[in-house]
Amino acid sequence: MVKICCIGAGYVGGPTMAVIAFKCPAIEVAVVDIAFARIAAWNSDQLPIYEPGLEDIVKQCRGKNLFFSTEVEKHVSEADIIFVSVNTPTKTRGLGAGKAADLTYWESAARMIADVSKNDKIVVEKSTVPVKTAEAIEKILMHNSKGVKYQILSNPEFLAEGTAIEDLFNPDRVLIGGRDTPDGQKAIQALKEVYAQWVPKDRIICTNLWSAELSKLAANAFLAQRISSVNAMSALCEATGADVTQVSHAVGKDTRIGPKFLNASVGFGGSCFQKDILNLVYICECNGLQEVASYWKQVIRVNDYQKNRFVNRVVSSMFNTVSGKKIAILGFAFKKDTGDTRETPAIDVCKGLLGDNAHLSIYDPQVTEDQIRKDLSMNKFDWDNPIHLQPMSPTVIKHLNVVWDVYEATKGAHGLCLLTEWDEFKTLNFKRIYDNMEKPAFVFDGRNTVNVQKLRDIGFIVYSIGKPLDG
């Protein structure tokens, strides 16, 4: 029986391994992590992450061929294939601070693999890493090898949170990069056989190591760039009376462009887009490609601009002050169908409004009060000017309520900001909400999910990204 071990039981490691275990009953899969609470949650009825369909497959495989454990060294030493899916955040200090990927977790995983391995291993980069990381990993493993042979593969993950299981069941492509040597090709073949259990062969792409590593950064940069492009267009729409939904539709009908990822919004979030673009910027700078670096930087600048623009619109619409006014925040996660709040635009929007002394009442169906308070008490890391900042003063975040009901959140509010496109927000009783709000009652839709005319007919003053403004 082939044994797989995945180091890192997070948003990628957990779902990816659950799907491998589900699709390959003959493979034993152990997912290991140093975070005890996370592993305990994976072994409980309350999984540590929310993903539609995940609970079902974990329940079917757990204890049969899928195991979650903190016995990291034991499972690593027994495995034939080791996936490394640890976090690779942006460095916050030292060389490359604010841009470069922090590979501390990766390096310590690699050293541990070298320490405990007694038989030859295939080590798979599942985390998103800078191009050429495999070279560094090879050095660490080879110089500590005690006779064990390693093959490093790059197999970046393209799943999107919120649709992780669907994406893993039916991926657009699986990318495997390896060395162009007989052993490298043998390793590629071994990993290919795992995926071939359910992924059509023509969707499994094999490349050299560096192409695979760089493709992941490139894919995220292209996706984020599309969002910033449509968001930049949304500002122009507001200035001219064009409607960004109509513009996106017209533009996306061009088959060379296509319709996906053209929704204007308050900005992109999530743990990956900004981090991976910063990483790309750093790699460009290190290679003397300043013009290319500044091209990609602009994608993040436009994203920051969009979030600020939204806050400014809220404040200026509400007679240039939100001081002491209750504002309901609907949605805090960075997108629907996830409880993940990493880099969510809601953090910047809420901080902007709190900074103007607004009183916030926040509702999100999947995010806990603890998480929201933690996110808002951390200061944003300024990637353009990387210095360590102090947490926000607790007196500012005391004007914060987290509630478990939309109607409670909006009761007595002067304004309502819709920041995550949860499906349940499409069917809200806006008449009831309007009746219980202060007048004039404002709606600021950061996701273009409400029916603007319907809300205006009720009596709301409505701002929706990239749409013609209320008279």
Using the minimum distance from each CB to ligand NAD, give the nearer residue, 28 or 51.
51
DSSP string, 71-91: -HHHHHHH-SEEEE-----B-
| CA gap 316, 301 in Å, rounded | 22
272 appears as a binding residue in the annotation: yes
Using CA atoms of 184, 187, 193, 196 in order, give the dihedral in degrees to the nearest 10: -50
For 165-194, b/e burial (b = at least 16 CB within 10 A) is bebbeebeebbbbbbeeeebeebbebbbeb
259 appears as a binding residue in the annotation: no
Among 13, 98, 267, 415, binds ligand NAD (CB under 6 A): 13
127 appears as a binding residue in the annotation: yes
Backbone angles phi, psi at 176, to 5 degrees: -130, 120
221 appears as a binding residue in the annotation: no
- Is 157 an interacting residue with respect to ligand NAD (CB under 6 A)? yes
Residues in the chain: 471
Q: How many CA atoms lie within 13 A of 441 on its CB side?
A: 21
Measuring CA to CA, which residue among 67, 116, 88 is closest to residue 11? 88
- Is 315 an interacting residue with respect to ligand NAD (CB under 6 A)? no
Q: Which residue has the tokens 């947490």?
A: 391
| Chain residues 259-298 in contact with ligand NAD, contact rule CB under 6 A | 271-272
| CA gap 288, 404 in Å, rounded | 51
CB neighbour class for 222 (10 Å; exposed up to 12, middle 13-18, buried from 19): exposed
- Is 18 an interacting residue with respect to ligand NAD (CB under 6 A)? no
- Is 344 an interacting residue with respect to ligand NAD (CB under 6 A)? no
Binding mask 422-451 for ligand NAD (x = CB under 6 A): ------------------------------
Binding mask 235-254 for ligand NAD (x = CB under 6 A): --------------------
| CA gap 175, 359 in Å, rounded | 47
- Is 86 an interacting residue with respect to ligand NAD (CB under 6 A)? yes
- Is 54 an interacting residue with respect to ligand NAD (CB under 6 A)? no
104 appears as a binding residue in the annotation: no
Using the minimum distance from each CB to ligand NAD, give the nearer residue, 165 or 233.
165
Instruction: Give whole-number Cα distances, 418 to 134, 276, 358, 421, 442, in Å.
Output: 42, 27, 16, 8, 11
Helix (H) or strand (E) holding 59: helix 54-61
Backbone angles phi, psi at 81, to 5 degrees: -120, 125
Q: How many residues bind ligand NAD (CB under 6 A)?
A: 27
- Is 57 an interacting residue with respect to ligand NAD (CB under 6 A)? no
User: Smallest distance from the beta carbon of 32 to ligand NAD, in angstroms?
Assistant: 6
User: Smallest distance from the beta carbon of 421 to ligand NAD, in angstroms?
Assistant: 17
Using the minimum distance from each CB to ligand NAD, give the nearer residue, 84 or 244.
84
- Is 12 an interacting residue with respect to ligand NAD (CB under 6 A)? yes
Q: Which stretch binds ligand NAD (CB under 6 A): 1-9, 300-308, 395-403, 463-471?
A: 1-9
Residue nearest to ligand NAD (CB): 10
- Is 16 an interacting residue with respect to ligand NAD (CB under 6 A)? no
| CA gap 184, 180 in Å, rounded | 6
User: Using an 8 Å Cβ cutoff, are 126 and 153 in contact?
Assistant: no
User: Using an 8 Å Cβ cutoff, are 29 and 64 in contact?
Assistant: no
Among 4, 6, 9, 230, binds ligand NAD (CB under 6 A): 9
Find the catalytic residue in 61, 237, 272, 350.
Answer: 272
86 appears as a binding residue in the annotation: yes
Q: Is 61 known to be catalytic? A: no
| CA gap 161, 385 in Å, rounded | 29
Among 7, 221, 278, 437, binds ligand NAD (CB under 6 A): 7
Measuring CA to CA, which residue among 130, 159, 175 is closest to residue 49? 159
Using the minimum distance from each CB to ligand NAD, give the nearer residue, 272 or 346.
272
| Chain residues 368-427 in contact with ligand NAD, contact rule CB under 6 A | none
> Which residue ranges are tagged as binding site for NAD(+)?
8-13, 33, 38, 86-90, 127-128, 161, 272-275, 342
Catalytic residues: 272
Which chain residues interact with ligand NAD by CB under 6 A? 7-13, 32-35, 38, 72, 85-88, 105, 108-109, 127-128, 157, 159, 161, 271-272
> Which residue ranges are tagged as binding site?
8-13, 33, 38, 86-90, 127-128, 161, 272-275, 342
